Amino acid sequence: MAKTDLTAQRVRELLDYSPNSGLLTWRVTLPHCKHKPGDVAGCVATDGYVVVGVDCRYYKAHRLIWLHVHGDWPAQCVDHMNGNRSDNRLSNLRSACKSMNVQNVHGASKRSQSGLLGVRKYGKKWRSAIMVDGRIQHLGTFEAPELAQNAYLEMKRKHHVGFLG
């Protein structure tokens, strides 16, 4: 995590936070900025995270929120439990180590053949596999993609503590 001189006091001076909506709003107008007090702070970046410019530097909103609420920068990652990177409601944010954060994946990658997490086409059937402790475990070959995904999700819940899906 990057070091910064931005303090909780400064964030609270500039921004209000609504834990229920997850929105940061401006308390003041900064020099050379177009926003007014009450305007929503930040925008959604191409990676899906909300970013906010503060004192000539950009920050991910969920990290600013952590600082605003807890008074310190997060010691680890801040995980969006539901997988939605722009959902910054306090009930959706948790401190997580990097491996736990990575395990909390809710959808297949864009390159996925099946569109399902942990499932790929195998001839006329569907195969499911999962990585556990650095080793691939094949979970079986199934007639339907949904069956393969169910096997994957069951194992994922069992072995990946960070996964909440």
Look up tokens 């921004």; give the residue.
15
Q: What is the mean pLDDT of residues 15-26?
A: 97
Confidence at residue 1, expressed as pLDDT on a 0 to 100 scale: 46
Which tokens sit at 149?
Answer: 């995904």
Average pLDDT of the residues in 86-97: 92
Q: For residue 3, tell me if it sits in a domain.
A: no
Residue 89 lies in a domain: yes
In terms of domains, do 63 and 17 share one?
A: yes
Decide: pTM greater than 0.75.
no
Residues 116, 125: contact at Cβ < 8 Å?
A: no
Q: What order do you get walking across the sheet with 43-44 strand by strand?
A: 43-44, 50-54, 57-60
Are 21 and 64 in the same domain? yes
Q: How confident is the model at residue 104 (pLDDT cuts 50, 70, 90)?
A: low
- Residue 95 and residue 115 in one domain: no
Q: How many domains does the chain have?
A: 2
CA-to-CA separations, 162 to 33, 65, 108, 135, in angstroms, rounded: 39, 21, 16, 18
